[in-house]
Structure 1
Amino acid sequence: MITNLLSVLRRNFLVVTATFLASICVGFGYLLVVRPTYTATAQSFVSISSAANVSDLAQGNVYLQQIVRSYANVADSPLVLNEVRSELGLKEPVGKLQSAVQASVPLNTVILTISANQASPTEAAALANKVSDVLAAKVVSLTGDDQNSQAPVKISVIERATPPTEASSPKGALVLGLSAFIGLALGAILSIARATIDTKIRSIGQLTSISTAPLLGSILFDRTLRAQRAIVPSPSSSPVAESIKNLRTNLRYVDIEHSNKSIVVTSSVPSEGKSFTAVNLAIAFAAAGQRTLLVDADLRRPSVAAYLGLDGSVGLTDLLAQESELSNLLQEWGQLGLHVLPAGETPPNPSELLESERMRELMSQFARVYDVVIYDVPPLLAVTDAAIIAANASGAILIAGFGQVRTQQVRASLAHLEVVRARLLGVVATMVPPTNNEYGYAYYGYEAEHRAAISPAPEPA
C-alpha cells in the first residue's frame, strides 16, 4: 500500500509541488497582511499588611490565595480600565481593552500576572504596567475600612513589563510550517483523488496488479526516436535497441515447454504502440539470424508497409482471396533477411477473412517455413480480428500504453483472450515516462507522438 501511495505521489509530483508552493505563498501573504501583536507581562505580589504571629500569617496566606483570584477579575474590569484608558490617553473603548488585557494567578501562589496585547511593543508594556499600578491602588481603596485605616491587603509590583522584541502573533515559523504541512497534505489528497478518478495505466505496479501474466518489458517515452525508421539494427548499444533485444530474449524463455513460433502483438485500444513493438521485435529476431516473417494482419488500418517503406498495395488480402502466390507477395526488408507480408487492400469483410479456414492454413504454413512469425493485429476492444488470430497463434503479447489505456480496458482485453482460449505470453508497457522506471533494468525508448515512434506515418493501432 505504501509503495502504491509513493507511486501515486511520484506520478503527481507537479500537483504536490504546486499545492505546496501555493500554500507557502498563502502563508507569506497572511504574514504580510495580518498586523503583528505584541504581548508584555507584568507581575505583582499580593500580601497582607501585617500579621501578629505565625498563626495569623498562615491564616492570611490561605486568605490571600482565595482572594487573589478575585483581584484577577478586577484587573480587566471597567473600574480599572477606565482609569487606565484616561491616564494613557487611549482611544480604544473599554470593551476592546478588556480583550487586550488578561490577568492570571498560578496555582497555589499569590503572584498576579498581567498580560497586555497591543500592536506596538512599547504600548503593550505601558498598558501592562499601568493596569498593575491602577489595580494596586484600587485594591487599597476597596479593602480599607476608611481613608485613615490601613488596607489589610496590598499589591506590590515585583516585575515591570518591558517592550517585547518579537511579536506574539502571528508566529512566522508556525504559520509557514503549518502552510507547508497543509500544502503537502492537500497535494497528497488531490493526487489520491486524481488516481482514483483517472483509471489510466500510469505505473508498472498498476499493470502487474491487473494481470498475472509476466511483464516482458517496458518501453520508455523517448522523443529522440522520431526520425528513426527502425531501431534494432542501430550499431550503437542504445537503451532502445538493447531493450528490444531483451524483449526478444524474454520471449524465448516464456513457457519454454511450448513453442512460441507465431506471436500475435495486440493492444486494448489504438495508439498504444503495438505496431512499433511488432515491427521492431520482428527486426530483432531477424537480426539474431532467425528466419522471421512479419505479417500485417490489421486489414482495417494497416501500417507495417508505411513503417518500413514498402509497397502496401498487395499482401495478405490477396493471399486470402487466392489471387496471388505467397512468393509474389512477400517483400524483403533490409539486409537481415526479414520477410514482410503487408496487409494489402482493405477488404469489405476483414473478420470473415481472418476467421476463414484459409487463414488457419496460411498460419500453419508460415509456422512451418519460418522460425518466428510476428502478427501485427488490430486492438482487441475495437474489433474481433485480434482475438480470432490470437486463438490460432502460439501466443499473444498485450501492449499497454501508459496514459493511453484504462485499467478496465486492460481487464476486458485479458478477458477477451481468455474467452477464445488464446495463450497470453505476457504484457509489455509502452510510453513509460523516464521517472516511472520502477524496476531499473534495461528499458527501451518509445516515441508515442502522432501514434508512431519510428515512422512519420501515423500509427493506427
Structure 2
Amino acid sequence: MELSDYIRTLRKNWLVILATTLIGLAAAAGYSLTRTPMYESQAVVFVQSQGGGTAAELQQGSNFAQARITTYVSLVREPVVMNPVITELNLNSSASELAARVKSSSPLNSTLIEITVQDGDPVQAAEIANALGDSLAAAVERIDTPAGQEAPIKLTRVRDALASFEPVSPNVALNVALGVLIGLALGVGVAILRTVLDNRVRSPRDIESLTNRPLIGAIPHDPKTKERPIILQADPQNPRSEAFRALRTNLQFLEMDGGHTFVVTSSIPTEGKSTTTINLAIALADSGKRVALLDTDLRKPKVAEYLGIEGGTGLTDVLIGRARVADVLLPWGGRSLYVLPAGKIPPNPSELLGSERMQKLLEALGQEFDVVLCDAPPLLPVTDAAVLSRATSGAIMVVAVGKTTTHQLDGAFEALETVGSKVAGVVMTMVPTKGADAYTYGYGYGYGGYGVYNAEPKKTVKPKRTESRSGKTKSRGRETQPPDDPSATFDELLNPR
C-alpha cells in the first residue's frame, strides 16, 4: 500500500477510528473515576555507624553502614517491621496487604532510606510512613546489636512524612491520554485490516491487477438510478449523462478487429450492465452513429421494459424463424437507434445465442450499422455471454465499484478467455462521487457550465442515396436494398436463397 492508500483508508474508516477512540476515552475515564483516590507520603531515615573516633574507624563504619543499606531497604516490607506498625495504628490489614502499599528505596551512594506509603487517607499515609521509620530503627537495633554490646548502626528519621491532599492515583489525565491513544491505534489497525481483507473492486488499480485491457469509462453513482435508468433521456445535463458520452468517445477510439459489434456483460447480476448498454447506445446514436441494440439476455430481459416498447416478439422469434428482422427491429427515440427486444424466453438460451443463425444475424447487423451492442447476461451464473462473445468484436465488461469482488471479476475474465473472446474494455459503474473513494478516480463531472445541452432528440441526417444502374441504392460506398425494405439485407443473410 502506498501513502495515498493509507490516507484513503483513514478517510473511509474515520467513523470506526472515531468510535474506537471514543470508546478508549470513555473506558479510561470510567476506570479513573471509579478508582479510589490514593495519597502518598514519604519519610526519610538516615543510617549511621556508631562508635569510632579516628578517621579510619569512621570510614570503616560508613562503609559498613552503606553495605547494610540494601538489607535495611528490603527489611522495611518484612513482617518484623510491619506488624508493630499495624498494632500501633490499629490498622485493619495484614502485613502482606500493607507491604503492597509501601515502597522503600535508597538513593545511589547514600546512607538514606526513603519509605513511601500510599493510602486512601492522606493523614493515615503519613502516620504509617513515620511509624515504619521508627519500627525499622527498632528492628535494626534488635537484629544488628550483638548481645551485651552497643549497637553498631543507628537509624534516625531525618524527615517526617507529611499528609498530602493531592492524590497520586488514579492519574486521570494520563489514563485518558493513554485511553485515547490505545483507542486511536486500535481504530487505525481495524481500518487497515478491513482494507487488506476487502477484496471488492474499488479502484482502477484493482482492475489493472487482473487485466491489461483499458478502462474506457467510469459511470458515477446515482441514487435515483432506479427512478431514471435512461439518464440520457431523463436528464441530459446530469453528470452521469456526461459520463456516458465520455464512454462513447473512448469506445469510438478502440481499435477492434472485425468491426464494432460488442457484447456488454458483467460478472454478477445488478452491476448496471443493461442501463449501461442502453445509455451507451443512445449516446452513440446522438453522435450520428447508426446503432443496433439487441437484448440478448434471454433469461431476464430488461431492454424493452426500460425503453417502454413492446417486447413480446423479438430476437428469439428471429432465431427460430418465426419472425423477420424487419418486423421486430424497432426504431426508438427519433434517433438512428434500432432496438431488437429479446422476445419470449426460450428453454435453451445458450444454444440459440451460439447458433449459426445468431452469428449470421450479427454479421448482417454489423454490415448495416456502425455499432451493434448486445446486452448479455452476467458471465458467472450462465454461459450465454461467453458463447455470444465469440461472434462479436469483443466484450465490454461492466464492473460495479464496491460490489464486485476481484475473485468474481477474475472468474469473468477467465470465462471469456476460455472461449477465446477478447475483452474490448472495462466500464466501472456506481463510482462514488463523495467520500474517500471519490478522489481516487479523478474524473471531473459537471460540464453544464460550458453550454446548454439540447434536450431534444437529435435528428439523424441520413446520407444522400444515389441510384445505381442495377436499381439498388448506394450508401457509404456499398450497395444496400432500397429504403422501402431496409431489413431485406438481414433476412437474405439469415435465409439465403
Structure 1 position 209 matched with structure 2 position 225? no
Aligned to 2:468: none
CA contact (8 A) 1:294 1:338 kept: yes
Output the CA distance in 2 between the equivalents of 1:442 and 1:265: 25
AA aligned to 1:135 is L
CA contact (8 A) 2:48 2:111 kept: yes
Aligned-residue offset at 1:114: 0.7
CA contact (8 A) 1:73 1:103 kept: yes
Output the CA distance in 2 between the equivalents of 1:203 and 1:64: 75
Aligned to 2:415: 416
CA shift in 2, pair 1:189/1:57, >3 Å: same
Structure 1 position 332 matched with structure 2 position 331? yes
Aligned to 1:405: 404
Query: Equivalent residue of 2:41, what SS?
Result: strand
For residues 345-424 of structure 1, what are the structure 2 equivalents within 5 Å? 345-424=344-423
Deviates more, 1:120-129 or 1:374-383: 120-129
Output the CA distance in 1 between the equivalents of 2:410 and 2:248: 25
CA contact (8 A) 2:28 2:175 kept: yes
Count of residue pairs the alignment pairs up: 442
For residues 32-71 of structure 1, what are the structure 2 equivalents within 5 Å? 32-49=33-50, 51-71=52-72
CA contact (8 A) 1:233 1:287 kept: no
Deviations 1:188-235 (A, max 9, x none): 555566566664434544333233322233333321344224212466
AA aligned to 1:212 is N
CA shift in 2, pair 1:177/1:164, >3 Å: same
Deviates more, 1:41-50 or 1:69-78: 41-50
CA shift in 2, pair 1:306/1:223, >3 Å: same
Output the CA distance in 2 between the equivalents of 1:395 and 1:162: 89
For residues 71-150 of structure 1, what are the structure 2 equivalents within 5 Å? 71-140=72-141, 142-143=143-144
Aligned to 1:459: none
Deviates more, 1:399-408 or 1:230-239: 230-239
Output the CA distance in 1 between the equivalents of 2:214 and 2:127: 78
CA contact (8 A) 2:296 2:315 kept: yes
TM-score, normalization: structure 1?
Answer: 0.85
CA shift in 2, pair 1:347/1:167, >3 Å: same
Query: Equivalent residue of 2:231, what SS?
Result: coil
Aligned-residue offset at 1:424: 0.7
Aligned to 1:230: 230
TM-score, normalization: structure 2?
Answer: 0.80
Query: Equivalent residue of 1:27, what SS?
Result: helix
Q: Which runs of 5+ in 2 are unaligned?
A: 447-497
Aligned-residue offset at 1:303: 0.1
Aligned-residue offset at 1:282: 1.1
Aligned-residue offset at 1:413: 0.8
Query: Equivalent residue of 2:294, what SS?
Result: strand
Deviations 1:258-308 (A, max 9, x none): 466222110111111111211111111122222222111111110011111
Aligned-residue offset at 1:126: 2.7
For residues 183-202 of structure 1, what are the structure 2 equivalents within 5 Å? 183-188=183-188, 190-191=190-191, 199-202=199-202
CA shift in 2, pair 1:335/1:51, >3 Å: farther
Aligned-residue offset at 1:151: 4.2
Aligned-residue offset at 1:133: 3.2
AA aligned to 1:440 is G
Output the CA distance in 2 between the equivalents of 1:169 and 1:176: 13
Output the CA distance in 1 between the equivalents of 2:293 and 2:386: 18
Deviates more, 1:51-60 or 1:100-109: 51-60
Aligned-residue offset at 1:57: 2.6
Which residue of 437, 441, 444 maps to 1:442? 444
Query: Equivalent residue of 2:358, what SS?
Result: helix
Output the CA distance in 2 between the equivalents of 1:259 and 1:174: 72
Percent of aligned pairs sharing the same letter: 39
Query: Equivalent residue of 1:122, what SS?
Result: helix
AA aligned to 1:171 is N
Output the CA distance in 1 between the equivalents of 2:162 and 2:205: 62
CA shift in 2, pair 1:322/1:257, >3 Å: closer
Deviates more, 1:69-78 or 1:4-13: 4-13
Query: Equivalent residue of 2:24, what SS?
Result: helix
Aligned-residue offset at 1:363: 1.0
Query: Equivalent residue of 1:441, what SS?
Result: coil
CA shift in 2, pair 1:129/1:214, >3 Å: farther
Deviates more, 1:241-250 or 1:36-45: 36-45
CA contact (8 A) 2:263 2:395 kept: yes
CA contact (8 A) 1:242 1:442 kept: no
Output the CA distance in 2 between the equivalents of 1:394 and 1:8: 39
Aligned-residue offset at 1:112: 0.7
Query: Equivalent residue of 2:209, what SS?
Result: helix
Whichever of the two has the greater Rg, that structure is 2
Query: Equivalent residue of 2:390, what SS?
Result: helix
CA shift in 2, pair 1:31/1:359, >3 Å: same
CA contact (8 A) 1:293 1:338 kept: yes
Q: Which runs of 5+ in 1 are unaligned?
A: 445-461
CA shift in 2, pair 1:42/1:222, >3 Å: farther
Aligned-residue offset at 1:140: 4.5
Aligned to 1:321: 320
CA contact (8 A) 1:317 1:344 kept: yes
CA contact (8 A) 1:353 1:359 kept: yes
Aligned to 2:24: 23
Aligned to 1:277: 276
CA contact (8 A) 1:229 1:308 kept: no
